[in-house]
Structure 1
């Protein structure tokens, strides 16, 4: 098949990383893979793995983005994809409007993924107008069926998969560790409590600092690391976090590592990984990656992250927003040997890829089309 994935940009985040990994899997399986976005650091990775990246400014949530309807129409006419997989609302609108001007026999199958619990309004409803819709967790599925007009048989839950071979049965690279500790010597010999995720208020970094303040009072051998960058527009929140770190007296015990491309090693380096989103997260990719690495994860018992922990590591579940219980759970895990964690198959990239390809085939069969 010829597959075109559409998303706003390729900077950082679970949607972007999932798109890049899925594109690589398509290439491995002999499909033609294209990604259209406004670009970003991960676009080079897309190209390096054998897919074609097409730069188009489809990221802005403003009427100006509708100026991309005609360029998108031209792209679809030239590429003639079998499936267009939309992963965000503005690209979905642009593609939907571009397709209205194409004859029915020239229109590809449209698959959308609800990567989040989008606000309930006509702008978000475009994601439910695809030929088939994917939800990344059961909580997202329930949300979509409750709030959008969509036949239940057109919606499938496919959990976001991880490339398990990239995370399990690995050991920390000594050279990597030497470089890390030379830059951050304060981490040497410490129990590492890691908080991965982009810098954003709803990701819960403020709660994490409160938890770290509780932990270091009892375990001064612990050190916290916040791993993730501040995207454009989030710089003020990063400054707020730095002020709060200082107010709590954590300047010497919590380190901001910024955006990193060595997460596989960092999961192995961490003694405990924290997930503290302040609202139900649709999936929680860092949870799955950490568990695949064998790292114990502590998370609030809500949303997609909780679904993952309920499946393979219930010891890490904490009542939502209870920072005291969260700190106690982290401390308890530090006193135990690193657990043996087995991820169910549905959380693996192989299963996600095969389930998604099956959806593509069903969409094409319903349209009476066959891959070019």
Structure 2
């Protein structure tokens, strides 16, 4: 291409910088600005400021989602305003391609793509229920990029062609992370130098399964391993988790560090094993960061984790919701530091080869090239997920069984 191609990135999310936000910011940082000019349209002030710091032109406004999970669910006036704003941005910046950083923006980007004959890429960081795949019009995008295969399984089941589905693993900005100063955690917590130290990294929400880790820690103590657990992250479950640690007599062994600007510095500061109790995880960005720090990882075999952590090579994968299996795997590594060190080394090599931000950006830029060279698609209707949704709704109405169908 002879000139830089304008791309409109659209991000919908809470007002924080976590998984999908971090991924988009790393992509914007590594985008080849000689070939692509990014513009960001988002609803989060925090995200807007972070992108502006990267010299990205930002438009920030509220994003009402029709038929969403939060009120108002029928804000047609707000939806029409989004269409007007989108048209203005496309025309003002001569946009050539649309990139949605989650499923929600597709609801208004699909009609905009059709009107302006623009290719639309949906970058999906989570699984979507059948109901949401329909209301967000995910089957109408030109290319759905998932961070792991499980993310795309629903669209494939809807009948979306494999040629319009692609897995691009997340990447981490190794250089940025390794600039974080190393934190000597045993010294900071006044612990003996021989204390076994575990860490978990992520939001304190039920899905992350930190309660399962606390229970695993209790079992480690019963087995004679008086390990400490560092909990890096914040969230609505913190009070309940602190209460659980007190009830189990572990309040002196579980350290809630909150959000940290230097998570890799903490992991590199003497942690022995990175652990996860996740009940669901479509990729495992924090696990990749643990491997980047040279740590062995113990995690459940759920979602896309097995695409990041190789069982027996860079870590140990155990059954989901099994604190006993977690405790057993952690004990194995704590008692075999040679094995733990080798797994950490192997995991770091794998991250540097497969899961860097630059590798991720190159793969997505190849997707852009592919879409820009293809003819615009004419079929952007509700022909896939909505047909399945309607058929399933009719079937359930006839049978009267709605208990296990949360998407209806």
Normalised by the length of structure 2, the TM-score is 0.78
Q: Work out whether 1:132 is the aligned partner of 2:143.
A: yes
For 2:305, what is the secondary structure of its paired residue?
Answer: helix
Q: For 1:307 and 1:298, locate their aligned partners in 2 and report how far apart those are by CA, in whole Å.
A: 14
Residue deviations 1:2-49 (CA, integer Å, cap 9, x gap)? 222212135132111000100111155552122221124343332222
Quick one: distance in 1 between partners of 2:225 and 2:282?
A: 34
On the 8 A contact 1:134/1:155 being kept in 2, the answer is: yes
Cα separation, partners in 2 of 1:242 and 1:262, compared to 1, 3 Å: same
Q: Give the direction of change, closer, same or farther, for the CA distance of 1:45–1:194 in structure 2 (3 Å limit).
A: same
Q: Which residue of 2 aligns with 1:325?
A: 325
Q: Is 1:92–2:106 an aligned residue pair?
A: yes
Please list the CA deviations of residues 43-65 of structure 1 after superposition, one character each: whole Å capped at 9, or x if unmatched: 33322222222212126543335
Which range moves more in the overlay, 88-97 or 152-161?
88-97
Residue in structure 1 matched with residue 350 of structure 2 by the alignment: 343
Distance in 2 between the 1:43 and 1:311 partners?
A: 39
Gap regions ≥5 residues in structure 2: 377-408
Look up the SS of the partner of 2:350 in the other structure. coil
Higher mean alpha-carbon deviation, 9-18 vs 91-100, is at 91-100
Using the alignment, how far apart are the partners of 1:172 and 1:79 within structure 2?
36
Q: Which has the larger radius of gyration?
A: 2
List gaps (5 residues or longer) in structure 1: none
Q: What's the secondary structure of 2:46's corresponding residue?
A: coil
Matched, 1:5 2:9: yes
Question: 5 Å matches for 1:176-325?
Answer: 176-177=183-184, 185-186=189-190, 189=193, 190-219=195-224, 221-230=226-235, 234=236, 237-269=237-269, 270-279=271-280, 281-310=281-310, 313=313, 315-325=315-325
The answer to whether the Cα contact below 8 Å between 1:23 and 1:34 also exists between their aligned partners in 2 is: no
1:164 aligns with 2:174: yes
CA gap 1:327/1:151 in 2 versus in 1, 3 angstroms: same
SS for the counterpart of 1:89 is: coil
Offset of residue 204 of structure 1: 0.6
Distance 1:202 1:91, change over 3 A: same
C-alpha deviation, 1:207, in angstroms: 0.7
What is the SS of the residue equivalent to 2:172?
coil
How many equivalent pairs are there?
A: 352
Other-structure match for 1:38: 43
Q: Distance in 1 between matches of 2:28 and 2:204?
A: 26
Q: Equivalents in 1 of 2:145, 2:212: separation in Å?
A: 31
Q: CA deviation at 1:185?
A: 2.6
Q: 1:220 to 1:329 in 2, by over 3 A?
A: closer
Flag the 1:77–1:276 CA change in 2: closer, same or farther, 3 A.
same
Which whole-Å CA distance do the structure 1 matches of 2:221 and 2:64 have between them?
Answer: 42
Cα pair distance change 1:52/1:172, threshold 3 Å: closer
Equivalent residue, structure 1, for 2:365: 357
User: What value does the CA root-mean-square deviation take over the aligned residues?
Assistant: 2.6
Shift of 1:85: 0.8
Contact 1:8–1:57 (CA under 8 A) maintained in structure 2: no
* TM-score, normalised with respect to structure 1: 0.85
Taking structure 1 as reference, are residues 29 and 217 closer, same or farther at Cα in structure 2, changes over 3 Å only?
Answer: farther
Cα displacement (A) at 1:88: 2.1
* Equivalent pair of 1:267/1:290 in contact (CA under 8 Å): yes
Q: 1:29 to 1:163 in 2, by over 3 A?
A: farther
Question: Structure 1 residue 299: deviation in Å?
Answer: 0.8
**Mapped contact 2:297–2:314 kept (Cα < 8 A):** no
CA contact (8 A) 1:27 1:51 kept: no
- Cα distance in 1 for partners of 2:334, 2:46 equals 36
